[in-house]
Amino acid sequence: MPINSQPVIRLEGVVRTFGAVRALDGIDISLPAGELVALIGANGSGKSTLLKILLGILSADSGRVEVLGLDPRRNRAALSTLVGYAGQDVALDPEITGIETLQLFHALRGHPGVDRERKISAIVEDFGLENFGERLVGGYSGGQRQRLHLALELMHEPQLLILDEPTTSLDPSGRRGLWDRLAAWRDAGHTVLLTTHDLPDVTTYCDRVVLLRNGKLLANDHPQALIARNSRAGTVITLSRPVADHEAVRRALEMLPGSPEIAIEGFTVTVWRNSHPEINEPALDILASLGMAVNRFERIEPNLANAYFRLGGAPLEQTRRPGGGGRGRNRRS
């Protein structure tokens, strides 16, 4: 069980360069214990470099790094017993069984042999490995591999668990199972830091979001606080014909109250405001007055994805989901 009020992770002015590229550019982060923290950002934003520095695999060019009060570069052996790390690739040996894998890692973690059977039985039960634990790992499904993958990193009850895109290969039920498990782990007082692109799940489960862009820290706050400060309500309007005169439509819609931002793309016009109008959507009347027929419209509540893009996250296309409408289309076209 953790520990104290000391930050689990403390970074001060951390810089790391690769040639001419500044992968991390003066990062200051302090993460308290007992939180589920999402590290988000586009590919190349510096997430992986940050994780490698926290794990002691890379050193910072300058700045101060502390994990659980220790310099990770100098205390890798000590931190290996305090930190769990599960990389993006589910690195398992296909030629041994799940139970054999657990027995191996039980030894590698330096646990005493006397309570091995009890401990491994508890893990098997906790992670639902009963039905396939005796089978060779090579025959596991993606979800089963992910469960074993995570069990290996939690079996030594690390004070800090670091996960690199753990939900990538999971189906929706597997993803929910994983998030529930991580939340339960957090509720038991441990700290979890993970990278992910699942922004809706981050909103639901995480206590904190750390957003990087081009090696710089853009945000470090609770998801709801980020949404409240940076996200807006959107109305996505689908027209029967593509918009011909973008400027005329934009000028007309910008007259609406609440300083709306307008995005136009093909058949779709998106109006972003601080909140939805309580009664009818006045944008529909304006479009009708311009001779445009509306096929349908959809309202989008303020969300983390939108906050992310408004803060300067990666292009929308990187996280748009099927059926996601115009979520996050906050840029002027």
Partner 1 sequence: MIVTLLHIVWQTALRTWRKTLRRPVPLTFSFVQPLFWMLIFGFLFHRFTLGTAYADFSYLDFLLAGVCCMTVLFGASQAGIGIVRDLQTGFLQRMVRASAHPAAILSGKIGAEVTRLLLQAIVVGLLGIALGARPRFDIPSLAVAALALALFAIAYASLSCWVALKTKAQESVAVFVHIVNMPLLFTSTALVPARQMPPWLETVARWNPLTIAAEILRDALLFQRLPDPMRLLPLAILGVALFTLAAHGMARAADD
Cβ 54 to partner 1 shortest distance, Å: 13
The shares of helix, strand and coil residues in the chain, as percent rounded to the nearest 5, are: 35, 25, 40
CA distance linking residue 250 with residue 255, whole number of Å? 9
The values of phi and psi at residue 101, to 5°, are -65, -45
Tell me how far the alpha carbon of residue 292 is from its chain's centroid: 39
17 in contact with partner 1 (CB under 8 A): no
- Of these, 13, 64, 104, 229, which contacts partner 1 (CB under 8 A)? 104
Supply 56's token pair: 């002691």
Count residues contacting partner 1 (CB under 8 A)?
Answer: 29
CA distance linking residue 249 with residue 283, whole number of Å? 10
At 129, is the secondary structure helix, strand, or coil? coil
Report 106-125 residues binding partner 1 (CB under 8 A). 106-110, 112-113
In 3D, which of 69, 52, 138, 137 has the Cα closest to residue 102?
137
Report 26-85 residues binding partner 1 (CB under 8 A). 55, 57, 76-78, 80-81, 85
CA distance linking residue 267 with residue 212, whole number of Å? 33
Report 188-227 residues binding partner 1 (CB under 8 A). none
Cβ 148 to partner 1 shortest distance, Å: 12
Q: Which is nearer to partner 1, 85 or 127 (CB)?
A: 85
Cβ 103 to partner 1 shortest distance, Å: 6
Q: Which is nearer to partner 1, 158 or 260 (CB)?
A: 158
Q: Which is nearer to partner 1, 100 or 207 (CB)?
A: 100
Cβ 301 to partner 1 shortest distance, Å: 40
Q: Which is nearer to partner 1, 12 or 100 (CB)?
A: 100
Residue 33: its H or E element: none
- Of these, 4, 19, 95, 289, which contacts partner 1 (CB under 8 A)? 95
- Interior/surface letters 196-207, b for 16+ CB within 10 angstroms, e for the rest: bbbbebbbebbb
Query: Helices (DSSP H) in 12-141: which residue ranges?
Result: 47-54, 76-80, 98-108, 116-126
Cβ 76 to partner 1 shortest distance, Å: 8
Q: Which is nearer to partner 1, 110 or 323 (CB)?
A: 110
266 in contact with partner 1 (CB under 8 A): no
C-alpha angle 23-28-33 in degrees, rounded to nearest 5: 115
Cβ 30 to partner 1 shortest distance, Å: 25
Residue 249, C-beta contacts closer than 8 angstroms, at least 6 positions apart:
243, 262, 264, 269, 287, 290, 292
Q: Which is nearer to partner 1, 77 or 279 (CB)?
A: 77
Supply 181's token pair: 């498990």
93 in contact with partner 1 (CB under 8 A): yes
Q: Which is nearer to partner 1, 149 or 232 (CB)?
A: 149
Q: Which is nearer to partner 1, 136 or 314 (CB)?
A: 136
Q: Which is nearer to partner 1, 27 or 58 (CB)?
A: 58
Cβ 100 to partner 1 shortest distance, Å: 7
Contact (CB, 8 A) for 330 and 263? yes
Q: Which residues bind partner 1 (CB under 8 A)?
A: 55, 57, 76-78, 80-81, 85, 87, 89, 91-96, 100, 103-110, 112-113, 136, 152
